[in-house]
Amino acid sequence: MQKLLTTRNADMMKRLHSFLQRRGVPVTVSEHGNQLELWLVQSSYSALAKDLIAEFKADPEGAEAELSTSSATTAPRKNASLLQQILQQAGIVTIIYAVLVSLVFIALNTQLAMPLFENLRISDTFSDLPWQQPWRFLTPTLLHFSILHFLFNVFWWWYLGGRFERTYGSVYLLIALFSCAVFSNVMQFMVSGPYFGGLSGVVYGLFGIAVVVAWQRPRHPLYLPIGLIGFMLVWLLLGYTDLLWVNVANTAHSAGLIAGLVLGIAIRIIEHINKTKTAHGS
């Protein structure tokens, strides 16, 4: 997190915050005493943010008018390219892993299904973790056994993973992917053995991260509505009942959520440390 601006002018801060967000810059606003502070969420946008703030300060009305004109001019093109809009919601890691999951799902519906499953499941036995084949700690996340299972997980991976990557960067998403996948897969293996698969543990990990990092921060890019949080938790609890029509890897879901909550707390601590350093430096 990087502090960009401090002001008491609430109207100006509201307009500037809106202007930067509409230009794709991930920013958030916090209160400190009687001051409003504008914070940059992802440091890679620092140069762009400073240029846009200077542009806005020089001529607020002109900057907003130019943005409105630009938006109106490009609207037909955006409406005509739904694929482009969808791709803009994700980063490179989100896209690549979604493609991998999709290719594996297609292959699992061909004659390659059995050898592919044997090479991607977590272990060849019910008693040994794959220390000699470490990719198996991750690859169960590529396995999906029904169209609903596949669509559910890819959608939430794109929605949560895409937002997370665009806010915090590809490295953070890779850390979240590996951490949540390994922990959820190992926990599920210890409970049920090697015959399971799915990206749900990672999805619930990203959900946990989003809940923590955006808690009481409604302007945060990862902020989730209460209704959406409720849906994810209800779905998690339903998995422990006999009400669902599918078999659910409940342990993987819960373990992924726990891993995500821990990662979310770690991110909040890192943000607080960086914010404190910036405040002291200024």
Active site residues per annotation: 200, 253
**Closest among 108, 109, 111, 101 to 161, alpha carbons compared:** 101
Long-range own/partner contacts, residues 58-64 (CB < 8 A, 24 or more apart): 60/12, 60/15, 60/16, 63/19, 64/15, 64/19
d(C-alpha 234, C-alpha 253), whole Å: 12
Distance from first CA to last CA of the chain, Å, rounded?
Answer: 14
Beta strands 35-40 and 27-32, pairing class: antiparallel
